[in-house]
Amino acid sequence: MLKDTVRTKTYQNVIYQNKFLFKNKVVLDVGAGTGILSLFCAKAGAEHVYAVIYLTFFLSLKIFEIVSNFMHSRLYFIDLF
């Protein structure tokens, strides 16, 4: 999805233009992959974002480490591997 900039930018624009839908809400992103949509939701004001992923342990830790630096305690990754 990251290479599909048109689709990613469209999702980002829709989420940011409708921040009132995300503000103080809990978001569950099933099949989060890289977590980009989870990050958009957190930046749009979601109180908590749960990103459910199915990746190798090392890769999921790396993604969590990178994204959690931006969102601190509002973004949680749930690894099903």
pLDDT one-digit tens code per residue, 21-80: 999 999 999 888 778 898 899 999 999 988 887 765 556 666 666 666 666 667 766 666
**Helix (H), strand (E) at residue 75:** strand 75-79
Spatial distance between the Cα atoms of 29 and 37, rounded to a whole number of angstroms: 8
Residue 19, pLDDT score: 96
**Torsion angle defined by CA atoms of residues 28, 65, 72 and 19, in that order, rounded to the nearest 10 degrees:** -40
Residue 17, pLDDT score: 97
Residue 14, pLDDT score: 97
Question: Comparing 18 with 62, which gets the higher pLDDT?
Answer: 18
